Amino acid sequence: MTAYLLRGVSVVGAAPRDLLIRDGVIADGSADGAEIVDAAGLVALPGLVDLHTHLREPGREDAETVETGSRAAALGGYTAVFAMANTSPVADTAGVVEQVWRLGREAGLVDVQPIGAVTVGLAGKQLAELGAMATSAAGVRIFSDDGHCVADPRLMRRALEYVKAFDGIIAQHAEEPRLTEGAQMHEGEVSTRLGLTGWPAVAEEAIIARDVLLAEHVGSRLHVCHVSTAGSVEVLRQAKARGVRVTAEVTPHHLLLTDELAASYDPVYKVNPPLRTAADVQALREALVEGVIDIVATDHAPHAVEDKECEWAYARPGMVGLETALPVVLSVLGERWDLIAERMSRTPARIAGLTGHGTGLAVGDPANLTLVDPSARRVVDPAELASRSRNTPYAGTTLPGRIVATFLRGEPTVLDGKAVK
Ligand code: DOR
Ligand code: ZN
């Protein structure tokens, strides 16, 4: 195993020094035989951890596979991703989660941790085999029907009760389905102007409010996916102040883009939950800094051309995000490295109970890290993405920061900005 000496690297924004990687861990002592990496001007972050990725395998390998999604993740600076359960077949059994887990190991580019479905077939009728998935080789701890809301309150309560035994988490896609029937975009001034059916903020806020009460009642852990409104932030703030065991994520796109973009009718901007108003974006940014929103998660949602490049009404919701997440967050937060490490690596690893990731990069820690060039700027070119899908809303946009290298347990997965395998 090659050793690496990262010369003159700034670890999470601290003063430049040398960082030695040997035998898969951060090491000290002699750098004899180590390959020298000139890391002057580069910042080392603990490898990013994404709690919300759609890898599409099994079933839609034309849009993404575990391997192509893993490569996109590594290029984005990630060392671990959690794969959402809305595959085909749905990841609602030990068999499917073990398959995804094994494919992730085989690709060997990031640690792929499957998320299990809460309900059979994501149909919201009957609990999936949560226990069997938890005790499977994949060791599932997070369950989600993402793409769908667990709308039935009794089922949500049962799910929270069930996972409490092993300190599992229910990750909710908060969308009251009766309030979003036929919805095409955020309900507001722009939807009125365009004559498109709206997805009201209250459809998200009502479910979060209900679920924090259920989580409080049961004493179980709730995670709220892709929070998108200022009102949701207020619900979360109150719940956290009361000590409810709730965590929440925001996507890069909800931190940057607004519903005005829907006026282009370009389906690349169609996403669920939809892009909201500038006031929502501002509230989400503040909540992320404050910690009311705990983490950034990509909701990387690759879609094949025929599912995306069609009329707005028929296009699938979702955008790819793994390869642009850190640049977008950098553009939003600026070079607040400790905050970025906290929101994109340490806290997601802690929420998921993922050991070896999101560490302090101290001697002896597994060498899961990424090297960023903060002075570089990059124009996003969809053709250059490693993801099998091209549905990025940032095509032609200049974003700060370039991921130069990523290491998974001391082995480079990305070097010189290129995937190693
Ligand atoms: O935009 C979205 N795309 N939101 C979801 O909840 C699901 C996801 C997908 O699977 O494409
Ligand atoms: Zn979702």
| Whether residues 306 and 317 fall in one domain | yes
Band (105; pLDDT cuts 50, 70, 90): very high
Band (95; pLDDT cuts 50, 70, 90): very high
pLDDT at res. 249:
99
For residue 3, CA distances in Å to 22, 48, 383 come to: 5, 21, 33
Q: Whose CA is nearest to atom 7 of ligand 1?
A: 147
398: helix, strand or coil:
strand
| Whether residues 36 and 167 fall in one domain | no
| Whether residues 142 and 180 fall in one domain | yes
Mean pLDDT of 107-131: 98
pLDDT at res. 295:
99
| Whether residues 235 and 211 fall in one domain | yes
| Listed residues 323, 352, 381: the one ending a domain | 352
DSSP state of 342: I
- Tell me if 380 CB under 6 Å of ligand 1: no
CB 250, CB 289: distance < 8 Å: no
pLDDT at res. 54:
99
Atom of ligand 1 nearest to the CA of 316: 11
In this predicted model, what pLDDT tens digit does every residue of 359-417 receive, in sequence order? 999 999 999 999 999 999 999 999 999 999 999 999 999 999 999 999 999 999 999 99
Give me the CATH number covering residue 346. Answer: 3.20.20.140
368: helix, strand or coil:
coil
Phi, psi angle pair for 114, to nearest 5°: -70, 145
- Asked if residue 135 belongs to a domain, the reply is yes
- Asked if residue 357 belongs to a domain, the reply is no
Single pTM value for the model: 0.98
Give percent above pLDDT 90 in the chain.
100
In this predicted model, what pLDDT tens digit does every residue of 226-250 receive, in sequence order? 999 999 999 999 999 999 999 999 9
Nearest to 245 by CA among 159, 167, 355, 353: 167
Question: What are 80's strand-pairing partners?
Answer: 49, 111
Rounded to whole angstroms, the Cα distance separating 210 from 230 reads 17
Atom of ligand 1 nearest to the CA of 301: 11
pLDDT at res. 311:
97
- Asked if residue 193 belongs to a domain, the reply is yes
* Length reported for the chain: 421
| Listed residues 312, 329, 352: the one ending a domain | 352
Q: Whose CA is nearest to atom 4 of ligand 1?
A: 272
Instruction: Give the number of domains in the chain.
Output: 2
Ligand with an atom nearest the CA of residue 272: 1
Quickly count: other Cβ atoms within 10 Å of residue 8's Cβ: 16
In this predicted model, what pLDDT tens digit does every residue of 275-326 receive, in sequence order? 999 999 999 999 999 999 999 999 999 999 999 999 999 999 999 999 999 9
pLDDT at res. 127:
98
CB 19, CB 40: distance < 8 Å: no
Mean pLDDT of 185-192: 98
CB 62, CB 101: distance < 8 Å: no
Average pLDDT, the chain: 98
pLDDT at res. 200:
98
| Whether residues 204 and 225 fall in one domain | yes
Q: Which domain holds residue 303?
A: 46-352
Q: Whose CA is nearest to atom 5 of ligand 1?
A: 147
Give me the CATH number covering residue 368. Answer: 2.30.40.10
| Whether residues 18 and 51 fall in one domain | no
- Asked if residue 359 belongs to a domain, the reply is no
Task: Give the H or E element holding residue 199.
Answer: strand 198-199
- Asked if residue 358 belongs to a domain, the reply is no
| Whether residues 17 and 89 fall in one domain | no
